[in-house]
Chains A and B, each alone.
Chain A
């Protein structure tokens, strides 16, 4: 593998102008980088919205936001974080890493890949442009008939922006599926695929089933608003509950769209930094697939309090999701058990993910208890749950992945010291910001309110939560400084700085156009590990275990 690549003076060398190159690229790595940088910018935008809201809520009474602006902000914060940050970020990481991990030269449809990306900034302009047209103060759930009777034209911009993003996701999902099924290197069987590839595969299936439902629903809502369609308007014979079914039939699988790639990232990092294979690979694949399947059976648990759904069915399947999720937790712990853990920033974030996502998972079990959900639905308990899942879950995994793959993407390793400062700020900030919300919700503080009663004993916990929000904001600063200084420094990380397992580490950092000149033999889910430890690999093969099942040495 000494001849991995054509030597390059600079990454992405091109004779074309720099701007034109990035605007017209169809290279999956550049598109991945575009996704990631766009998404990170949106993370900052959504974060500023959150800070504005938390500042308003620090004390009871109206301090500096009007109710209308507050309503616009909480709606746009959710839309920005979900559709413009986490989804493009996960797509970007997948775009960069998945073709490398399966030994492919590019995505299956490079031009569609570029189209998929460029729909994101277009959608972002429409969605954030809503602020200029009265915003979209209807929540990210856009419940009918409120969305139909609220006059602000920003809502129309939001709906159309989301249609663009939905189309982008559908294109991306098809592209990932085609890439994973058709472009794997010789020897890369399905059961040797890295876990990020598996989770991307399942995520793409989820998107393919869920996104068209949302996108058509959005168009129906648009027709209702502007042309009197009456799909969801009871005064015209429509049904507002139907919108909720449409929305959550997308919305719950969407939760797994946001978290399955995070599971994949953590499952890549934990084995590498433990110097052990992933414990129970097959069980992990099955757990991922079952979470994906179960994800389509639980949507109405968001609608328990509508009085219009069959409660036991959705309660039972919601509980059931705890089982495959539990499998993942125990497999991660068993992977680390007996390993040689090296607490570089990626593992720190991965372990932080496991420790805090657990809280989000346990909240989920509470919420599956329907009579308890009747109490805490639409309160801060749910706000806490969603943030333990999406911040402690997706965001932790995103930072884990960014620290892990940054050397592969740029050729330079991020600074470990700054990384650890960032981790502890984020870890403490996340808990300080979101844990008190459990108690507030349990005491009956409803969400989506600009103000709360001054003498319910809620002021202190809200202030604490606001302090946490600012800690989270502070944690982003070392990261930006870290990226800035690292990119100005030498690109000397080397091909395989983490002593890792999967194929992306068998090419240069950053990889050349079309990724590989030569691939190592692929005989397990850890081809690069096998290359470095021929003995271990032979013993493994001799034991006859494909991936899981037996203890081997």
Chain B
């Protein structure tokens, strides 16, 4: 007698039947719950009013919100097509699953084996070919859209140099210069971040630069993000169609302050933009960067305890007071700027107070005779660099 004869099938059938009914009820309950939660989700969001600049004015839903650029709109136009394909597949497959689970439950009368179907070549070819055609169609749509949205005009109307660093943005306008011939620029923090003013209807080129780690320049209403990567300049172009204020945010995790790395874009009419640019230019000229008289500014950037300073060789003129503009790119660690044997009595110059992680500060260094000095972080003496004074 083999143990593989099917014994005790019959007594268990009563149990099967009861489970079948209750399981069916539970399935129905599950479906109702699902539908209910979907309805709840939609209804509850519809009531929300959004005033925050980091999102669009519409509540979350199954379709993209307001998209304000020509390129973004073209990309967003793909969404309903993909959604329709996905919806058809979803309804078809889930419908089949529900039908099969209801129709082919094991019944007490099922003592004989069902038909042992091992396959069907025609059917299988069919469900290889049809999905292949569908995804090929989607790919063609993707390819065509990409060709449009990624076009870079060689002569953009406005260029913005976006610089990301932990955890802020700087927007510089190389087309709008101050009296010193430098692009005017804006840096800011807080829940709105720095504001970038742009004209509608003109081609805008974004050039993305990163100072420390990878960030991502993301404006939901542009339907677009592009990573900001150190050692590389990424570019993309948009034409904004609608005036308004649109929030943006860093989308690539970049450390402690990532969730607060906001910025704002304000799109205005071309004439308003010209007016704004003139005003901004005048403002920049009215209040030039404050610098101590006679002092020369030297930029020093601390990267981390491991990586030290970048660059780690800094030059300065001899016998001139120095203002060290100190950027601490190290997320959570304070650093400072010290120079070995720089004081007249031979002791080290030590800059106080230290600059906290991710912030900037400045140190006033007295005039130094020509020579080569070693600078370091007094908190982490392994972080060193070379200061060449004069020559």
Contacts and interface: CB of A to CB of B under 8 A. Distances in A.
A146 B121 contact: no
Most chain-A Cβ atoms within 10 A of its Cβ — which of B40, B121, B254?
B121
Given A365-B135, A444-B55, A307 B101 contact: no
A33 to B, nearest CB: 25
B45 A461 contact: yes
B27 to A, nearest CB: 9
Given A458-B60, A460-B41, A553 B115 contact: yes
A459 B350 CA distance: 48
For the residues of A in contact with B, the DSSP-based class is helix
A26 B116 CA distance: 40
B259 to A, nearest CB: 4
B100 interface: yes
A379 interface: yes
A460 B44 contact: yes
Interface in B123-174: 123-124, 127-128, 131-132, 135-136, 138-139, 141-143, 145-146, 149-150
B54 A146 contact: no
Contacts of A461: 41, 44-45, 60
Interface string A436-463: 1001101111111111111111111100
Interface stretch (A117-125, A193-201, A335-343): A335-343
B118 A456 contact: no
A341 B330 CA distance: 60
Interface residues on B, range: 35 or more
B245 to A, nearest CB: 14
B123 A366 contact: no
Interface string B319-357: 000000000011111000000000000000000000000
B186 interface: no
B264 interface: no
A279 B41 contact: no
B97 A333 contact: yes
A125 B227 CA distance: 34
Contacts of A547: 118-119
B178 interface: no
B3 A496 contact: yes
Given A320-B135, A420-B26, A549 B118 contact: yes
A452 to B, nearest CB: 8
Interface in B82-111: 82-83, 85-86, 89-90, 93-94, 96-97, 100-101, 104-107, 110
B112 to A, nearest CB: 9
Given A355-B97, A366-B86, A375-B75, A228 B252 contact: no
A319 interface: yes
A166 to B, nearest CB: 23
Contact of A311 (B33, B131, B146, B260): B146
Contacts of B61: 439, 442-443
A333 B74 contact: no
Contact of A239 (B2, B78, B231): B231
Contacts of B388: none
Bin chain A's interface residue count. 35 or more
A243 to B, nearest CB: 10
A533 B72 CA distance: 61
Contact of A338 (B117, B131, B142, B235): B117
Contacts of A531: 2, 4
A315 B127 contact: no
A343 B100 CA distance: 12
**Overall SS of chain B's interface:** mixed
B97 A378 contact: no
Contacts of A551: 115, 117-120
Given A377-B251, A453-B191, A427 B30 contact: yes
B113 A536 contact: yes
A428 interface: yes
Given A371-B142, A371-B145, A234 B191 contact: no
A424 B27 CA distance: 9
A439 B41 contact: yes
Interface string A522-543: 0000001001110010011000
B303 A235 contact: yes
Nearest to A378: B251
B310 to A, nearest CB: 5
A340 B138 contact: no
B6 A228 contact: no
Interface stretch (A42-50, A87-95, A100-108, A148-156): A148-156
Given A146-B213, A306-B227, A355-B97, A424 B26 contact: yes
A464 B136 CA distance: 36
A137 B135 contact: no
Contact of B104 (A331, A336, A366, A455): A336
28 contacts: A2-B1, A149-B213, A150-B304, A240-B230, A279-B118, A282-B119, A305-B227, A306-B229, A312-B142, A312-B146, A330-B127, A342-B105, A348-B23, A365-B86, A371-B74, A371-B223, A378-B225, A442-B65, A443-B58, A446-B218, A446-B251, A455-B49, A458-B60, A460-B41, A460-B44, A464-B37, A531-B4, A549-B118
Closest 8 CB pairs of A and B: A234-B231, A444-B220, A457-B48, A371-B75, A449-B259, A548-B119, A456-B55, A443-B60
Given A307-B234, A551-B118, 19 more contacts: A68-B332, A146-B213, A151-B304, A277-B118, A279-B117, A305-B216, A306-B227, A338-B104, A365-B135, A378-B252, A442-B65, A443-B56, A444-B54, A448-B258, A448-B259, A453-B247, A456-B50, A548-B124, A549-B119
